[in-house]
Amino acid sequence: MNFHVLTLFPEMIRNGMNTSITGRAIAAGYLSIEAVNIRDFAYNKHQKVDDYPYGGGAGMLMQAEPVYLAYESVVQRIGKRPRVVYLTPQGRVFNQEMAREMAKEENLVFLCGHYEGIDERVLEEIVTDYVSIGDYVLTGGELPSMVMMDSISRMVPGVLSNKESGETESFAGNLLEYPQYSRPEIWHGKAVPQVLMSGHHANIEKWRREQSVIRTAKSRPDLLKKADLTNKEWNYVRQ
Ligand code: 6GU
């Protein structure tokens, strides 16, 4: 998977992605990240890439041409027209299913806006997907692009080790993860739940499933509709 990020803050992307699991995957060649500085494509001597919005209003807009030239530089390099994700609170809300689907692409371009946004005309020409990461406002698209790249990366074959990939489908059943415990057996007076010490695998699975259902009912009842619950599970969720 090759990620190409069009941004005014390339260092933010490089520093973020070269760390931890994604950093290891880049070093091992499963991922590549190219951060393209839109400012390098400014066409005036002051390297200015923003201007006032026609019709007035607060703030500045990123101009169409530098964004377009930055995008074209990626097209030139890879020799095709890839999907272009524009990070915006006006987009479709990102989820695990979108991550799984985007992980099939060979190349993905992320366009990160700043200031009050980007001239609509260049968006019309190059953007294929408008995506938001949730209902709150951020100062720019860099963090959302890294959120998306992180979750897409873990769906790319080779990025997670066998040990790590057990978690890959944790959202697939539309249930939240059960609680987990490691040594010591007693910490701050709290013991590990007995069933986990029993070695009885069927009971452990049953307990974990119950915990998942209870947690989901408590914090994400919206997910339960999509989860495959038994009648018995529906009954104790309703109490
Ligand atoms: Cl994708 N961008 C910005 N600026 N804010 C957001 C967002 C994106 N998703 C949620 N809030």
* Ligand-binding site membership of 54 (annotated): no
CA atoms of 202 and 209, how far apart (whole Å): 11
| Helix, strand, coil share of the chain (percent; to 5) | 40, 15, 40
Domain parsing of the chain, residue ranges? 2-162, 173-238
Please state the rounded mean pLDDT for residues 164-184: 82
Least confident of 112-116, 138-142, 154-158: 112-116
Query: What's the ipTM?
Result: 0.94
Predicted confidence at residue 164, as pLDDT, reads 82
> Atom 3 in ligand 1: which residue has the minimum CA distance?
138
pLDDT digits (tens, 9 = 90+) for 35-75: 999 999 998 999 999 999 999 999 999 999 999 999 999 99
145 CA from centroid of ligand 1 (Å): 9
Residue owning the nearest CA to atom 2 of ligand 1:
88
Does the Cβ of 141 fall within 6 Å of ligand 1?
yes
Decide whether any atom of ligand 1 lies within 6 Å of the 147 Cβ. no
Instruction: Determine the residue of 86, 132, 145, 146 to mutate for testing ligand 1's pocket, defined as the one with the most ligand atoms within 8 A of the Cβ atom.
Output: 132
Residue type, 140: G
**What's the CATH number of domain 2-162, 1.10.150.120, 3.20.20.150, 3.40.1280.10, 3.30.70.1230?**
3.40.1280.10
User: Is the minimum distance from the CB of 10 to ligand 1 under 6 angstroms?
Assistant: no
CATH C-level class of 173-238:
mainly alpha
Query: For residue 228, which phi and psi values (nearest 5 degrees)?
Result: -95, 85
